[in-house]
Every structure is written in structure tokens, then in C-alpha cells.
Amino acid sequence: MTTPSANPGPGTQPAGSDPERKPWRATLGASACVILATLATAPWQDTLGRTNSVMLLLLSAVLAAYRFGPGPGLVAAVLSVVCFDFFYVPPRGSLSVHDLDFTVTFVVMLGVAVLVGQLTARLRFQAMVAHERERRMRALFEMSRDLSSVLTLEQTADISNRYLARLFDVEPGLLLLDNADGLVGAPGCSLPAQADVGIARWSLEHNAGAGIGTDTQPSAPALYVPLKAPMRTRGVLVLVPRSETWRLNPEQRRLLDTTAALIAIALERIHFITIAQDAVVHMESERLRNSLLAALSHDLKTPLTVLAGLADSLNLAGPPLAPAQADIAESIREEALRTSTLVMNLLEMARLQAGNVRLNREWQPLEEVVGVALQARAAMLAAHTVRVDLPATLPLVEFDTLLMERALCNLLENAAKYTPTGSTIEIAARSLGPWIEISIADDGPGLPAGNENQLFEKFTRGQGESSSGGVGLGLSIVRAVVEAHNGNVKAENRATGGACITLRLPAGTPPDTPLEEP
């Protein structure tokens, strides 16, 4: 992994414009260049001549401007004219000029020294600014490249802190959102001691910077930058300067915002990678469990059917069984049938979860499938009072008969199983605009408070341990069947006591039925 080159920090500028350098020192340095050039050429002025001496003095002024900047360069240009007049123009050792022709020389010399010196200083400054910008862009590219390959929060925090420390001369820290939307330090990295979580929380909630260089808490010892990702803000960046004179110019502020955006995108990518991995693991687990259930159910279905048939044949064989033996045979038959029902539920659940169920939808009256379901569960409902309220004006409903029958059977079985003997079970239906509502209610003990809708999850039972058999698939099958018909189901406790489960099916547009002739 590439590491960025060392950076002197955001407070440092190219040579010639360094705010840390004292102005008088730069001026003395520029003046020294001209004085040294004068002292070096003065003893040889008769040999060099005035023209060459002027060129050397101009060169010293240009070099001074190049090295120390425009301001000291201007001082060097004026000083070079003064030195030329004092040491080279008669009368020497005096600033007076007897020959007016030298006036033009002075003007041209000053103009050339100032113009060339200023241009040279500016060109050098622009070259250094371009070099500094190129260095930062290279570091930004390297950071982007490294962040694009991270897979963990620890890697993201490590790379971010390393680049931020070198790009901006700060002690960085990273505050990330936890599962409860609270701010916590990034794993594997420590926070600066000056970090204030309260200011960071404000920056997160207002999605704006705070601390040094901002209008919010400017006296704070750190700068807080929200990590804005495309979907949401993923955390807060904390920068504690290492220098008391630390500051960011507009270009560096834009660079910091870009860096924060790169970190935020990396964090969001890791977040969605984690979600995708969890979803894949969940899907594979569901697929494996459904496959195991289907295979196990197929293997158990045949022997259970045979066992129930053998129990029936015992009563038909001669001589007749004794009463105790007959009761045992009947118990074997009932348990085999109950287990067979559980196996059928497992098969049905696996088939529905596989997503390859084709609905055989037909327009038909609701009372027919309700009647079939009541007849199928007549033995279980014998000890209960059943009331049916199906209006004669109820329109036809489009559904798969077998699947809807199974759903209603499971609801009736559930109501009979978890209500005391003698309880009342009510079946009602009504038309509500685009929906047909079917409700099955009872006056039993009701559903666990706060967990009404969790009962529709697989392998969930209303009572953790009870004498009632089952593995908690009945209501799951009901929900799967109703949702396959583009409907929905809900469970709630009645105000008068007991539970009520409501199925909502799309009403659709029933076909016109011909009137029967009298």
C-alpha cells in the first residue's frame, strides 16, 4: 500500500511567500545579494565596464526577487540603481549625477530590474503552487485507490488517519455511527484527547462543519467535518492541529471536503457489503433449511401413512380388540395423523418458500371454501361453538381453492387448539372497497401482548411450552398463502377478550354471473 509523501502542513506556503519568514529578514537577504554583487564587481569596474556592471547588478536584483519574493525584489531593484550611481557613475562615492544621460540609464535599469524581478518571482511562486497542487492531487489519488479496496472499518480508519495526518498536519480521529445511531470511535484507532463528542453530534445532526475555522464553536481545539455519503451521513471526522498557527485556505478546505467524501463513500460501501453478505448468508440458510425440511418430510410421509393405516386395520382384524388395546390403537392412529399433518405443513412451507408455487385462481363464492374447511376440522371443533357470518351479498373472490382451504384449516385448528372447551369461534367476512376481509375470532385467552405479529414467523408458537402439539408453522403457512394472493394478514387481541386474525384479499372485478331463470 502506497504511503503519501511528507507534507509540511497547511500553514506552509511555497518559498518566497512563507508567512512564517519575517519580512525584514527577506528584505535583508535581497539587499545582501545586491551589495555582494556590487562589492564583487566594484574593484573590477574599469575592466568590466559600466555596461557589464549594470548587467551583473540587474542579475543580482532578479535573483533576489526569485529567492525572496516580489516585495524584497522591488527593494533589491531600487538598491541596485543606487549602488550603480554610488559606485560606478562619476562623481563616484556620491549620489549626485553630473551627466544627465545616466538618468535614462537609471530609469531603464530600474524598470528592467523591477519588471523582470517581479515576473520571475511570480513565475516561481506559480510553479511552486502547481507543484504543491500536483503533490496533493497525487496523494488524493493514492488515498482514493487505497480506500477503494478496503473491506473493514479498521482498514478504512487506518488509511484515513494516515493520509489526513500527512496532508493536513493534524492528529485525526474518526467517529462512526453505531447500531443505535450513536457516535463511537472507529475500531482499531484511538480518538484525540481534545475530541468533543458533543460538538461532533451537533456537526452530525446539522450536517455542517464545526470547530476551528467555522462559525460554530470556533474556539474549540479541533475541526469537525461530517462524513456525507450519498445515502446518509456516516460519521464525523475530527482534526486536531499540531500547530497553533494552523489554518486552511480555500483550496485546502476543498481538498478536505473531497477527502471526507471519499471516506464517507468507503464507509457506506462497507455498510452495504455487510448487509449484502448477511442477506446472502440468510438466503443460503433458508434454502438449506427448506431443502432439509422437504427431504425429511418426503421420507416421513409414507411411513406415517402406513402407520395410520395399520392402526385402522387393528380394529378391523379379528378377534375384536380388548377396550384397552382398542384405545392404544386409536391413540397410535391419532398421533400418526397428527404427525402426518405436521409433515404436510413442513412440505407446504418448503414449497411456498421455494417460490415455485403456481396459483390456480378461480372466481368462486367464499362460503364454499369456508364450508370445506369447517368440515375438515369438524372433529377438533366439536367441543366449541362455531358461528359463521357470511353476507349473501358477498361478491365472488379469486383464489386458489386448495391453498385457501389449507389456510382456513390452519386458522380453525389454531383457534380450537388454544381456546378452552366451550369457547366460541366466529368466522365472518365483509367487503371493504378494494378488499375482502375474512376474520376468525375467538373468546379465549388471546395472544401474547406485544408479539401478535411475531406469531406469523416460522417455528413461533403463542405458548413456548404447552400440551398442544405443533411446531409453529400453521400461521406461517397462512401468511405465505395470503401474500401469494397479494393480500395481507394481521393478528390482534379483541377488546372484549380473545384473539382475532384477519385476512385481506384483493376484491378485483368479479365476472358477471347470469341470473337464474325462475
pLDDT attached to residue 504: 92
Strand partners for 442: 425
What is 46-67 written as a DSSP string? HHHHHHHHHHHHHHHHHHHHHH
Annotated domain spans of the chain: 23-144, 161-276, 294-354, 361-506
Q: Which CATH architecture has domain 161-276?
A: 2-Layer Sandwich (3.30)
State residue 353 phi and psi, 5-degree precision.
-70, -25
CA distance 54 to 250: 43
Q: Other C-beta atoms within 10 Å of 476: how many?
A: 22
How far apart, in Å, do the first and last CA atoms of the chain sit? 90
What is 160-196 written as a DSSP string? HHHHHHHHHSEEEEEEEE-TTS-EEEPTT-PPPTT--
CA distance 439 to 502: 4
Q: How many helices (H) and strands (E) does the chain have?
A: 12, 12
DSSP state of 440: E
Nearest one of 35, 39, 26 to 61, comparing CA atoms: 35
DSSP state of 19: T
Q: Other C-beta atoms within 10 Å of 83: how many?
A: 22
pLDDT attached to residue 179: 81
pLDDT per residue of the chain (518 residues) written in tens, 0 to 9: 444 444 444 444 433 444 445 677 878 887 888 888 887 777 776 667 777 777 888 888 888 887 887 788 788 888 888 887 777 776 766 666 666 666 777 777 777 777 777 787 788 788 888 887 888 888 888 888 888 888 888 888 888 888 888 888 889 989 888 888 888 888 878 888 888 889 999 998 998 999 988 888 888 889 999 999 888 888 999 999 988 888 888 888 888 888 889 999 999 998 888 888 888 888 887 777 667 666 666 677 777 777 778 777 777 776 777 788 878 887 887 777 777 776 776 666 666 666 656 778 889 899 999 999 898 888 888 889 999 999 988 889 998 888 888 889 888 888 888 888 888 999 999 998 889 999 999 988 888 776 666 677 755 555 544 444 444 567 888 888 888 888 999 888 888 888 899 999 998 888 876 544 44
* Grid cell of 260 as nine digits: 471526507
- According to CATH, the superfamily of the domain at 361-506 is Histidine kinase-like ATPase, C-terminal domain (3.30.565.10)
Kindly give the pairing relationship between strand 435-442 and strand 499-506.
Answer: antiparallel
